[in-house]
Homo-oligomer: A and B are copies of this chain.
Amino acid sequence: MAVGLSSLPPLLPVPGVRLATVCAGIKKPGRRDLVLIELVEGACCTAVFTRNAFCAAPVVVAKRHLAQGIPRYLLINTGNANAGTGERGLQDASSCCQSLAKIMDVMPEQVLPFSTGVIGEPLPVTPIFNAMPAACKALSETGWVEAAHGIMTTDTVAKGVSRQVEIAGQMITVTGIAKGAGMIRPDMATMLAFVATDAKVAAPLLQQFLQAAVQDSFNSITVDGDTSTNDACVLIATGCSPMEEITASDDAAFAALARTVREVCIALAQAIVRDGEGATKFITIEVEGGADNEECRQAAYAVAHSPLVKTAFFASDPNWGRILAAVGRAGIRDLDVARVAVFLDELCIVTKGGRAPDYQEEQGRAVMAREEITVRIDLGRGTHTARLWTCDFSYDYVRINAEYRT
């Protein structure tokens, strides 16, 4: 189903992180729907959240707890988003944290709650309470693969990736998992992603790594333009590696870890698009020649969100008119159409705002038949660029979202 996404690669343990996945029966019996992640004492944890004004109760509580305590546990459920649930939703999220804190003998503020699934239904807290003891017992450093499955909703494949990098003589691991397939146009982070490393990094620097990585990864994808109420991306540094703490002044170590975190985030973000609801194509949109970064992103999103462009990709139709029409309505000030060029992979299809002189329709069809395509748009008015990833729009997107209750 997912475009170019093979089965989950091996996920390397991150010393200092243990995970457990159980079937709590939140929505359906027998489904892995509750994931617990434990961080070693002294681990550093940072996060970014959705900017949707209708953010879910767990987002509100997780933000509050992050500000108050040093996280030791992340509690993630699928099957229910605990969003649009008002005061009761906040109480439910808090009581889950309290219940876990009691078992594990930590402060409730040291537990961050995350939920994904149906919006607007009260969170079934009893099955969650009941499943907690089993989850606590099952915690294991090798629990990443199970956890990647346990956070899925409409995802057709589990998503995870590991990278290793040598920093100052130490082999450092970065492992991450993510979920998401629809309601994907992250405004801050994707639906849920959890990335951990055993590197030693202090909180302010870790936040900096996360924000930079998120901008180029989860904030550069779109499936349907809908921003979730529950988006969250967490980055953990356990500090379990016997290394010196990475600081901003240590250029080489800083760059190496930043690059590796970014790679992991990009791989996870791309996996979400590859598994986009109903996706049959994986599309990279590169806009170059912009007067600034923002107008490049504007143009890229206008193309990526256009239902007409997306259905043309589904049909393998090299319909460059629809691409130009989307760029034209992107709201770029004083855009001179006569300077715009468009490429499908290596093939130039538009120059000077019109069909390229040598372009033949069969060539376009051949490129569009590929499963992975890069659309490159040159605005011809500057040196700035932007890149994002999206997928096509198929019958199955409609079927999935007509049948599934978000």
| Chain B proximity mask over A316-343: 1 for CB below 8 Å, otherwise 0 | 0101111011111100100101100000
CA distance A319 to B227 in the complex (A): 15
- A53-B332, A311-B401, A314-B402 known; A325-B355 Cβ under 8 A: no
Q: Which of chain B's residues have a CB closer than 8 A to the CB of A129? A: none
- Count, chain A residues at interface, CB 8 A: 63
State whether B53 touches A319 (Cβ < 8 A). no
Q: Which of chain B's residues have a CB closer than 8 A to the CB of A338? A: 86
| Chain B proximity mask over A395-406: 1 for CB below 8 Å, otherwise 0 | 101110111011
Kindly name the residue among A118, A182, A311, A405 whose own CB sees the greatest number of chain B CB atoms within 10 A.
Answer: A311
**Nearest opposing residue in chain B for A229, CB measure:** B325
Q: Does A308 contact B (CB under 8 A)?
A: yes
CA distance A120 to B351 in the complex (A): 12
Selected contact of A353 from candidates B54, B81, B320, B352, CB within 8 Å: B54
Q: Which of chain B's residues have a CB closer than 8 A to the CB of A227? A: 325, 328-329
CA distance A68 to B394 in the complex (A): 47
- A52-B328, A353-B84 known; A226-B406 Cβ under 8 A: no
Q: Does A312 contact B (CB under 8 A)?
A: yes
State whether B120 touches A306 (Cβ < 8 A). no
Q: Does A380 contact B (CB under 8 A)?
A: no
State whether A324 touches B54 (Cβ < 8 A). yes
Q: Does A293 contact B (CB under 8 A)?
A: no
Q: Does A187 contact B (CB under 8 A)?
A: yes
Selected contact of A308 from candidates B182, B326, B332, B353, CB within 8 Å: B182
CA distance A307 to B305 in the complex (A): 10
Q: Which of chain B's residues have a CB closer than 8 A to the CB of A352? A: 86
**Nearest opposing residue in chain B for A326, CB measure:** B226
- A53-B335, A84-B321 known; A328-B402 Cβ under 8 A: no
State whether A398 touches B401 (Cβ < 8 A). no
Q: Does A23 contact B (CB under 8 A)?
A: no
Q: Which of chain B's residues have a CB closer than 8 A to the CB of A306? A: 224-226
Q: Which of chain B's residues have a CB closer than 8 A to the CB of A337? A: 53-54
Selected contact of A85 from candidates B319, B326, B354, B401, CB within 8 Å: B354
Which A367-402 residues have C-beta < 8 A from chain B? 393-395, 397-399, 401-402
CA distance A81 to B319 in the complex (A): 13
Selected contact of A327 from candidates B54, B312, B394, B403, CB within 8 Å: B54
CA distance A51 to B330 in the complex (A): 11
Selected contact of A311 from candidates B120, B319, B402, CB within 8 Å: B402
**Nearest opposing residue in chain B for A324, CB measure:** B54
State whether A403 touches B120 (Cβ < 8 A). no
Instruction: List the 10 closest pairs (A to B, CB-CB), nearest first.
Output: A119-B321, A54-B328, A86-B354, A315-B402, A311-B401, A120-B321, A53-B328, A227-B329, A52-B328, A53-B335
